[in-house]
Each structure stands twice: as structure tokens, then as C-alpha cells.
Amino acid sequence: MQSLKGVIMKKYFRQILALFILAGLTGHAQAQVNLSAETAGPTGVPGNVMGHMADVLGEKKVANLQVQQGQTLTNSVRNVAQGKTDFASAPIILPFLLSRGVGPYGKIGKKKGAELAANLRALYPYNAGGFFGFAYTNKGWKSWEDFRGKTIWNGPPRGAALNNARSTGILAAGLKDGKDYKGVQQNWGQLMTTLVDGSVDGFILPSVWPHPYPTTMTAAGKVSVFSMPKAKMNSALAKKMFGVPGNIPIIVDRKDMGYKNSITLISEDNKLRGLGTAFTDVVHKKMSFDLVKKIVAAHISTLDRLKKRTAFMKAVGLAEMDPIKSSFCGKSKLKYHAGAVAAWKEAGYKLPACAQ
């Protein structure tokens, strides 16, 4: 016959065991996948998208996104393709260049580059704004021709931004760096000082609206921003440029730019046009269907919140499925992950067949 003490001890043992089991089940239910992620600086469009995803995926207990900011996205995209990183911000041009083993991926070679690019899958579209001309209004410039013969800041020493800025000058007025104007290249970190110190005559810069670049300039004086002429935007050269993966047309109404009194728009129809840069976030094709579907579903369900994250996020092509405006299809062979396709369709969006 058991003693009273023995009965009590067994009762407490069962209660303690039950608590441990419950705690274990609860911990299992709340367990999250740890994902590594890489993006550019935190204040730009890609950094804001990735920062938002880190927040919402954590809140919804989908994944812990461990984000490395300020990365060179050329390397980040390759890291995802190689399985070294789970998640990365990606200009659409980079998977295309990787697939051909050219540009920054020249040392990889075409065969290996094509193999790596085939591992990449997209989650959702957005863009990083367009490239436009800028100058202080007191200079009296009236058109892109006034950039001719001047000193123009047009990007960092190398990379896609410099190429796009140079392409913008060529498309707008046939202006070639080194021939028709003196291009000045500096690292991005030096730009904020250069915007206001008077060391250059003008700028060809990427911008969304509003943005730290025009905001910084307007603190020092009134600014003129130069739209791509409408005829140039519809030219044969423009068609060729927009055929390059990642290049998209950006058109912004004056009323949506902000800076009511501090910026003068140089445009024939009160619209700001420019050469834009399409982005997506990429993962490896082997990431599970269910996990990707949850990630993209979290993105879709919080789009309104993402648009309010900064003043410019409302105008960066979030959920833009048009293949021309998002730069999917065409020469770009990048596809959406099957889990992403399922999430978008379930939410009522129509994806281009060529991107699935």
C-alpha cells in the first residue's frame, strides 16, 4: 500500500511532467525558421522593403530574418544562387547578367553563370525610382542641353547606377560622359555633401518622391528637375534601352512629387519621366513552397503598411504585375517562385504567364 507521501509525490511529478510537455509543444508551435538576408543601405527602397519584411515575418512568426545592410547586391544575388544566403534584394539586371556570365560576373563564365542564375526565384516586384537631371534653379538652365559642357555628378565609380545615369544623358539629349560633359564619380557616402557644396554644376541622380537627395538640395536653394523629353521616351533608342532587363519607364505626375514651391519641373506636360530600375527580392529555388507562400502572403497582407513606412514607398511599383513596368519576361528569364505564384493568385492578382 502506497504511503500518503508517495501518492502526493507522484501527483506532483505528473503535474510537472505535464507542464514540461506543454512548454515543449508551445515552443514547437512558435518555432520560426532563421533566414539570412542581404540588402543595400537601410534608407533606400530595397532596404525599406527588406526591413519591413524582417518586421512582419517576425511578427507573424513566419521567420526570423537576419538582415545584413549596406551590401553589394552583385555579391548578394550570387550568394543566394550559391545557397550561401537565403534572401536578397536584387536589381532585375543582375540575374540576367549572371545568366550570361558577363559584367560583374565575367570571371564566373557563361556556363557556371547560367547554372547559378537558374537557381534564383523572385518573390514580389518593386522599383528604386528613376534617373533625372537636377540643377539649382538660379543657374537658369531650361533644358537638357544646358548640361552640355558642364561638370555633372553621375554616380559611384562603377556599377549599374553609373551606367543608368550615363544612359539617361544619352537618351535625353545625346550627352556622352567625357565628350559632352565632364562626369564626376564619387561613392554614395560623399554625395550628400556634394549636393550642396557647389563643386559640380549639376547632377544625374536616381530618385523617388520625396527623397533625401532633392530634400537635401532644397535645403540649400530652389531646384530644377529635368524630365526625359516625351519624344525621347518614345524613341527607337528608348525602346532599345527599355529592352534591357531591369530598365523600366518611370512617369510621375507633378502633384505626386511634393516640394510644391522649392522644385521647378522642366517638362512639356507637367509629368516627370525617367529611366527607372526594377527590383525584386530573390530566394533559392529549393526554398520550400510552403515557406515562400507564407513569406509572400505576409508581404501582400501588409502592403498598405509598407506604403506608409516612408513617404516615398507608396510610389515604387509595389504589386505591379505588368511585365513592362516590372521588367519581368522579355530577355529576363527570372521566374517567380511557385510558392510566390500561389500566394499572389490566392490574393487575387494576375501574374504574367511568362514569369511563372
Note the pLDDT tens digit of each residue in 200-221: 999 999 899 988 899 999 999 9
The last residue of a domain, from among 277, 310, 325: 277
Are 309 and 220 within one domain? no
Do 69 and 52 fall into the same domain? Answer: yes
Q: How many domains does the chain have?
A: 2
Domain boundary among 277, 311, 340: 277
Residues 55 and 99 in one domain: yes
Res 263: pLDDT? 95
Whole-number Å distance between alpha carbons of 278 and 329: 12
CATH number of residue 143's parent domain? 3.40.190.10
Domain span at residue 97?
A: 29-127+279-355
pLDDT at site 40 = 86
Q: In terms of domains, do 133 and 264 share one?
A: yes
150 & 272 share domain: yes
Q: Are residues 136 and 253 in the same domain?
A: yes
131 Cβ contact partners less than 8 Å away, ≥ 6 residues apart: 164, 165, 167, 168, 204, 205, 206, 207, 274, 275, 276, 277
pLDDT the model gives residue 22: 39
**CA dist list (Å): 253 to 35, 168, 209, 272:** 39, 19, 10, 6
Give the whole-angstrom CA distance, residue 46 versus residue 41.
Answer: 8
How much is the pLDDT for 12?
A: 45
Whether 23 maps to a domain, the answer reads no
How many residues in the chain?
356
Query: Residue 330 domain-assigned?
Result: yes
Task: Name the domain boundary from 277, 305, 322.
Answer: 277
Examine residue 16 and state whether it is found in any structural domain, yes or no.
no
Residue 227 in domain: yes
Q: Is residue 68 part of a domain?
A: yes
Neighbours of 346 (CB within 10 A): 12
In a domain, 51, yes or no: yes
Grid cell 525610382 in the structure block, residue: 129
Residue 1 lies in a domain: no
Residues 199 and 250 in one domain: yes
In a domain, 3, yes or no: no
Helix (H) or strand (E) segment spanning residue 184? strand 182-185
Residues 133 and 92 in one domain: no
pTM reported for the whole predicted model: 0.81
Q: What is the pLDDT of residue 127?
A: 94
What is the grid cell recorded at 330?
522579355
Residues of the chain with pLDDT under 50: 1-2, 4-31
Predicted local confidence at residue 188, as pLDDT: 79
Q: Are residues 259 and 306 in the same domain?
A: no
The span from the CA of 124 to the CA of 91, in Å, is 12
User: Both 138 and 34 in a single domain?
Assistant: no
User: Within this chain, do residues 100 and 231 fall inside the same structural domain, yes or no?
Assistant: no
Same domain for 248 and 170 = yes
